[in-house]
Amino acid sequence: LAKTTQPISMDSYEGQEVNITCSHNNIATNDYITWYQQFPSQGPRFIIQGYKTKVTNEVASLFIPADRKSSTLSLPRVSLSDTAVYYCLVGPNQAGTALIFGKGTTLSVSS
Amino acid sequence: NAGVTQTPKFQVLKTGQSMTLQCAQDMNHNSMYWYRQDPGMGLRLIYYSASEGTTDKGEVPNGYNVSRLNKREFSLRLESAAPSQTSVYFCASSGMRPGHTGELFFGEGSRLTVL
């Protein structure tokens, strides 16, 4: 399973764009990249998933370069409620595989 | 639609006691997982079940046993609890959802303290 590396923490202000990068140098051909968000005292929840290039949904964008050895989660115009831990996972796009979380990135948004 | 339900939400045990954490999902998912999260740390995979009748070890299986009772239910048992097992335990499930197969849906967590 591909190991992921993320910054431990990041700080931002309301209204700014935040980019969190995840390194996954040994990603396999059939691996997808998935990001989760976790608030205190809650289980993580899915944010976005991608395989290559760019994926955008209503809350975030995911940028994946051609070599797929890294990915960047982009949160546009963050608010205080975006303060959370963000996890990058790499694994096959199928149910039933061992999904391993890294240490995650703690994002703190201030006013 | 309750999603993933865990019981109990809180439990205090004495060292050496045993207990079972229960997890049930109503999304008809094939796969289920148990994670633990220590204070200020990320999630670590204990065991997972790809489908009914199968279970596999994750990163930290020692001291735990699991049972995939049926498609809906996946239980985690501590046979002889130790203080090192004080943690928040999360159950999750995943299925074949178009667009993001393998997406994990988590329960609210079970907070276990071992004295």
CB of A46 within 8 Å of any CB in chain B?
A: yes
- B3 contact partners, CB below 8 Å, separation of at least 6: B25, B26, B27, B105, B107
Q: How far is residue B60's CA from residue B2's CA, in Å, rounded to a whole number?
A: 28
pLDDT for the residue numbered B38: 93
- Most A CBs within 10 Å: which of B91, B104, B111, as the mutation test of the A interface? B104
pLDDT tens across A62-103, in order? Answer: 999 999 999 999 999 999 999 999 999 998 866 678 888 888
User: At which residue do the structure tokens 């944010």 appear?
Assistant: A47
pLDDT for the residue numbered A109: 97
pLDDT for the residue numbered B115: 96
In A19-38, the residues whose Cβ lies within 8 Å of chain B are 32, 34, 36
Q: Is B92 exposed, middle or buried (0-12, 13-18, 19+ CB in 10 A)?
A: buried
Q: How far is residue A15's CA from residue A110's CA, in Å, rounded to a whole number?
A: 10
CB of A8 within 8 Å of any CB in chain B?
A: no
| Per-residue pLDDT tens digits of chain B, which is 115 residues long | 679 999 999 999 999 999 999 999 999 888 999 999 998 888 999 999 998 989 999 999 999 999 998 999 999 999 999 999 999 999 999 876 655 566 889 999 999 999 9
Q: What mean pLDDT, rounded, does chain A reach?
A: 92
pLDDT for the residue numbered A30: 85
What would the two tokens of residue A45 be? 């929840």
Contact residues, chain A, for B56 at CB < 8 Å: 98
pLDDT for the residue numbered B39: 86
